[in-house]
Structure 1
Amino acid sequence: MAITRTFRLRPAVTVALTLPALATTLVALPAPSAEATGRPVSTVRWGPCPGTGLDPRQECGTVSVPLDHAEPRGPHIALAVSRLRSEKPEARRGTLLIIPGGPGNPGLHEPSRRGKALPQSVRDAYDVVSFDPRGVGRSAPVSCDLPHEDLAMERLRPWPAPDGSVDHNVAAGRRLADACAENGGEVLRTVSTRNEARDIDRIREALGERKLSAWGVSYGTYAGAAYAQMFPHRTDRWVLDSNDDPDPERVARGWLANYAVGVEDVFPDFAAWAADPANPDRLAGTPEEVRPLFLALAARLDREPIPWPGANPEELNGNVLRQTLLDSLYSPRRFPVVARVIAAARSGAELPAPNTSADEAMQNTVAASAATICNDVDAWRDDQASYEKAVADSRERHPLTAGMPVNVMPCAFWELGPTERPVRITPHGPSNVLLVQNDRDVATPLAGAKNMRAALGDRARMVVVDAAGHGAYVDNGNECGDATVTRFLLTGERPARDRYCAS
């Protein structure tokens, strides 16, 4: 059966968007020059930040950007931005922009969250700034108005049926694409990596900066690389952390496929931890026993799910267990989550409380993520038979991910885009990029990061850290890796060649 796209879009409706929760706005007044004042002058009117648990010094504001950058005098939307100012103004050298991941993750609280992990010397040298990308959080948020059951991660990630069938994935993908076309509105049609790069440049202008430094993490590495490709003369010191494969023919389809590699890369770390005699959540006597133990339990739960009150869905089936494993491999700090679920399911004990997100937040994240990956590239249009073959092959080679990474996504039925070709990352531009990467990363495995390194050529150097997890800089305690990135941010000095930082 061929995958076809038969639904039609509603007529486009122009919408006006505001940020009522943020009382601050962009001031349309000419700013004094940096030369006249001795430091860049922002045209953002800064005020208090919404939310709790934030650094009390964090400020928030908005930047107005065109809904369509090709029509700069047309409708605009407001992007929510935040900053922590340099803690030592006399040492300040610029702005460090944290580019959030996802796609679809908010960044407004990143200066308080990630910023506090930065070394004091970096916090002295930079204003730390971040933002909610368009369509996300407080930046004209989008939603596809999906039913609760379609917000389950087991359904959003295209896990095949226990027998390998993809029929329900085709139905779910079509349903999500249809809902986004019907309910997503004008902003959803404009969410893309190219537009995020253009929005970042508007933020740079509003901050009064001639150039930006950046710390892009996860999807933020691709968005950051796209900005460096589109606006190379506006980049200063560019750190890309946990790198996506920038293959312009596949883009996010390649990122999804890389989960099969990433899970295999990190699972041995989990197995060693799960067999450690000193571990209170120990599952097996040896690391070699952990994989067959997990696969047997997943197969049993495929046949006989058990109730899991409060979860979505409210049962622990084989695919929910596989998704729980994938989520837990993002960081060794999360290993106990899946270990306790495995132990309870095997013994018949009560399952731990599920880790769930509010539907409202999930609606926004899912819509923005789907819009980004589907508007970026037209690479998902295979027929169903092609997906079935790819899933069958992947299930045999990578049983831990059971074919999910190569399965059909809503983009196969997407009618909103893409309207532009994806950004091709090239070696042309200033040599001011430092890649930092964990050796074993479930979401952005080293194999894909090496493709980013190759695409950038001599513009970049790469530091690989002997660690497992997603997120390398100031995240896993590797002194060599952290010192290399910090030195680059403070002095611009990169290693003469790529380097490996042992644990």
Structure 2
Amino acid sequence: MTKNHLTRCAALVAATVLLSTPLVAASAATPKLKWGACPDSAGAPRGVYCAKLLVPLDYSKPTGRQITLTLSANGSLSSPHFMLVNPGGPGASGIGTEKLVSAALPQAVADQYSVFSFDPRGVGASTPVDCGDLTKLSPHPALPYKPANAKQEQQRVALAKKVADQCGAKAKWLLPYITTENAARDMDRIRIALGKQKIDYLGYSFGTKLGATYATMFPQHAGRFILDSVVDPLVSTYQSGFEQNVALEKRTQQMFAWVAANDKTYHLGKTGQAVAKAWEGIRARLAAKPVSGKVGKPELDDMLASSMYTEDSWPTLLEAVTQYLKGDPEGLLSAADQLALGVDPAQLAYNCNDKGWPPTWSRWHRDTVRSDRQAPHYAWLNTWYSAPCAFWPVGPAKAGRIGSSKVPPILLLQGRYDGPTPLAGAQRMQLVLPGSRLLVDAGGNHASYLFTDNPCTDVPAAKYWLTGKLPANGTCPASRPAG
């Protein structure tokens, strides 16, 4: 990224509105949390406890309708420090994340921290966005992502509109309030309920946007923050999808090169180009004859996209594909269940409330056709995943600018070839959060801090948790699988 490009980003920052301050002061009365068993539906692992916290649906009406947040905790609640964790999404459940993080922290850090998480508003065991049963709207095998003609495209458009209409019919009362800023306000209510002056925070993926938003809105309560796999703060969610397409395509070519390097195992070609050609043959074969009538070309595309989050999933996908080629489809059916993409109402609610979604389909079509030239595996897939935002029944919500207040310096971690959150996003986040530090590892795994082995990032991160001292900016080798 050139200096001139960063200068243009800085100009964009100056032209953006300020991120709004809290609408109301938090109540002076500190709510008491009652910790107990988590809801059965949360699927919490053993040793995790939950508590309920009421927060305003609309923070401009703090005594009006309340909604529920479900908080989760692992182990002792009396450590000297506490860490709040968000796993991303948006729309991912946090319950159970605190146990994974607590178990993975270096012992010296774990001894100092109680780790908490929560289901954000709209998600899971908190008051959820309920769009009803959406599974009937997307039968399998699905229509191809890249439409072969105008009729197929309009069928997909109609499906996206049905999703938006159904969410509007079921959850319109809640949808306007599912915003990143409201989730940040909820975080401050959590801080108060836990009786803490400051939050120490670990956020992955969308959790980086949430953490940076909180630090901007409540800088006096922002403690030690680590943000891993950083969302771009300077572009709309619509635009970031097209940047993501290119990064995912590059990551896919890296996977094909890896497959070629392991040709003795997978027998798909000895060069990346050969593997790419073989992959297209597999897609064509599944298009002609879906496995068990439900796993066709779009389902394989889903699996490929899901595998771009971590290279640990590459062997699972490739083993399933090679077994399918040998006449055994069971692994492919299983992988389809594990790696399937589906409609996530909470994720749509957060994303569709953002500004920047074109109101006319012709713009979506034109931009996707252009993106398809650079990212043929992802352009149409990503567009259809977000297409309900073209017809969303509410919004967009007012939103401000991350970094509009004096934010305490924080630590940013990023993979150079991360597909879901490209490197440029982390660089731009550092630009808008002066004094923050960025460590870039040479790999491409998404949200890998604590779940892969990389002393180059792990050691300075541990020091930061313990002392508050940030490392210098730097580059690191690629992470290795943990253990």
| Same fold per superposition (TM over 0.5) | yes
- Alpha-carbon contact 1:461-1:494 (below 8 Å) kept: yes
TM-superposed deviation, 1:476: 2.0
TM-superposed deviation, 1:281: 3.8
- Return the letter of the residue paired with 1:501: C
Counterpart of 1:129 in structure 2 is 116
Render the CA deviation track for 1:333-360: whole Å, top value 9, x for unaligned.
11023313432454554242334669xx
For 1:226 and 1:423, locate their aligned partners in 2 and report how far apart those are by CA, in whole Å. Answer: 9
TM-superposed deviation, 1:235: 0.2
Matching residue within 335, 340, 351 for 1:373: 351
| Stretch moving more, 445-454 or 43-52 | 43-52
Counterpart of 1:331 in structure 2 is 310
* Matched position secondary structure for 1:62: strand
Matching residue within 313, 319, 330 for 1:340: 319
Render the CA deviation track for 1:292-315: whole Å, top value 9, x for unaligned.
22234334544x142336xxxx13
- Return the letter of the residue paired with 1:44: L
For 1:329 and 1:245, locate their aligned partners in 2 and report how far apart those are by CA, in whole Å. Answer: 18
Asked whether 1:75 is paired with 2:27, we answer no
- Alpha-carbon contact 2:283-2:296 (below 8 Å) kept: no
TM-superposed deviation, 1:466: 1.8
- Return the letter of the residue paired with 1:398: A
For 2:120 and 2:275, locate their aligned partners in 1 and report how far apart those are by CA, in whole Å. Answer: 40
Counterpart of 1:219 in structure 2 is 206
- Alpha-carbon contact 1:106-1:133 (below 8 Å) kept: yes
Render the CA deviation track for 1:149-189: whole Å, top value 9, x for unaligned.
43579979x93324586323321221111101111152233
Kindly tell me the number of residue pairs found equivalent between the two proteins. 447
Asked whether 1:109 is paired with 2:96, we answer yes
Counterpart of 2:295 in structure 1 is 315
- Residues 152, 261 of structure 1: alpha-carbon distance in 2 compared, 3 angstrom cutoff: farther
Aligned identity (percent) is 32
For 2:140 and 2:305, locate their aligned partners in 1 and report how far apart those are by CA, in whole Å. Answer: 11
- Return the letter of the residue paired with 1:306: P
Asked whether 1:453 is paired with 2:430, we answer yes
- Residues 147, 235 of structure 1: alpha-carbon distance in 2 compared, 3 angstrom cutoff: closer
For 1:342 and 1:163, locate their aligned partners in 2 and report how far apart those are by CA, in whole Å. Answer: 28
For 1:305 and 1:240, locate their aligned partners in 2 and report how far apart those are by CA, in whole Å. Answer: 44
- Residues 53, 132 of structure 1: alpha-carbon distance in 2 compared, 3 angstrom cutoff: closer
Asked whether 1:389 is paired with 2:366, we answer yes
- Alpha-carbon contact 2:56-2:66 (below 8 Å) kept: yes
- After TM superposition, the structure 1 = structure 2 runs for residues 236-251 of structure 1, keeping only pairs within 5 Å, are 236-247=223-234, 250=236
Counterpart of 1:62 in structure 2 is 52
Matching residue within 425, 446, 458 for 1:482: 458
- Alpha-carbon contact 2:303-2:336 (below 8 Å) kept: no
- After TM superposition, the structure 1 = structure 2 runs for residues 84-95 of structure 1, keeping only pairs within 5 Å, are 84-86=74-76, 92-95=79-82
For 2:175 and 2:43, locate their aligned partners in 1 and report how far apart those are by CA, in whole Å. Answer: 30
TM-superposed deviation, 1:492: 0.9
- Return the letter of the residue paired with 2:68: A
- Return the letter of the residue paired with 1:454: L
For 2:365 and 2:28, locate their aligned partners in 1 and report how far apart those are by CA, in whole Å. Answer: 58
TM-superposed deviation, 1:469: 1.4
TM-score for both structures, normalised by structure 1:
0.81
Matching residue within 383, 394, 412 for 1:416: 394
| Greater helix content | 2
Counterpart of 1:6 in structure 2 is none
- Alpha-carbon contact 2:219-2:406 (below 8 Å) kept: yes
Name the Cα RMSD after superposition. 2.9
- Return the letter of the residue paired with 1:338: L
Counterpart of 1:267 in structure 2 is 252
TM-superposed deviation, 1:415: 2.1
| Stretch moving more, 431-440 or 445-454 | 445-454
| Stretch moving more, 160-169 or 422-431 | 160-169
- Return the letter of the residue paired with 2:334: P
TM-score for both structures, normalised by structure 2:
0.84
TM-superposed deviation, 1:431: 3.2
TM-superposed deviation, 1:145: 1.3
Instruction: Structure 1 unaligned segments of length 5 or more: list them.
Output: 1-27, 32-41
TM-superposed deviation, 1:446: 1.1
| Stretch moving more, 264-273 or 197-206 | 264-273
- Return the letter of the residue paired with 1:396: R
- Return the letter of the residue paired with 2:51: G
- Alpha-carbon contact 2:320-2:335 (below 8 Å) kept: no
- Residues 221, 350 of structure 1: alpha-carbon distance in 2 compared, 3 angstrom cutoff: same
TM-superposed deviation, 1:454: 1.9
- Residues 299, 453 of structure 1: alpha-carbon distance in 2 compared, 3 angstrom cutoff: farther
- Residues 178, 169 of structure 1: alpha-carbon distance in 2 compared, 3 angstrom cutoff: same
Instruction: Structure 2 unaligned segments of length 5 or more: list them.
Output: 1-26, 479-483
